[in-house]
Amino acid sequence: MSNTDRFFEEVTEELRRDRAMDALRKYGWIAVLAVLLIVGGTAWNEWRKASAQAEAEAFGEAVLSALENNDSDARIAALGEIDATGPQQGVLQLLRAGELLETDLAAALDAFQAAAEDNSLPDAYRQLAALKRVMAGQGTLPLAERQTVVAGLAQPGQPFRPLALEQSALLALEAGEAERAIEIMQDLLAQSDVSEALRQRVTQLLISLGAETGAA
Looking at residue 170, its pLDDT comes to 94
How far is residue 27 from each of residues 15, 24, 32, 140, 214, measured CA to CA in Å? 18, 5, 9, 74, 76
Q: CA 152 to CA 2: how far, in whole Å?
A: 92
Q: Return the higher-pLDDT residue of 63 and 206.
A: 206
Q: What angle do CA 189, 194, 199 make, to 5 degrees?
A: 55
User: What pLDDT is recorded for position 43?
Assistant: 57
- Mean pLDDT across 77-92: 76
Q: What is the pLDDT of residue 69?
A: 76
Better-predicted residue by pLDDT, 96 or 134: 134
Give the confidence band of 3 by pLDDT, cuts at 50, 70, 90: very low
Q: How many CB atoms lie within 10 A of CB 105?
A: 14
For residue 165, which amino acid is it? Answer: L
pLDDT, position 36: 56
- Residue 34: its pLDDT value, please? 55
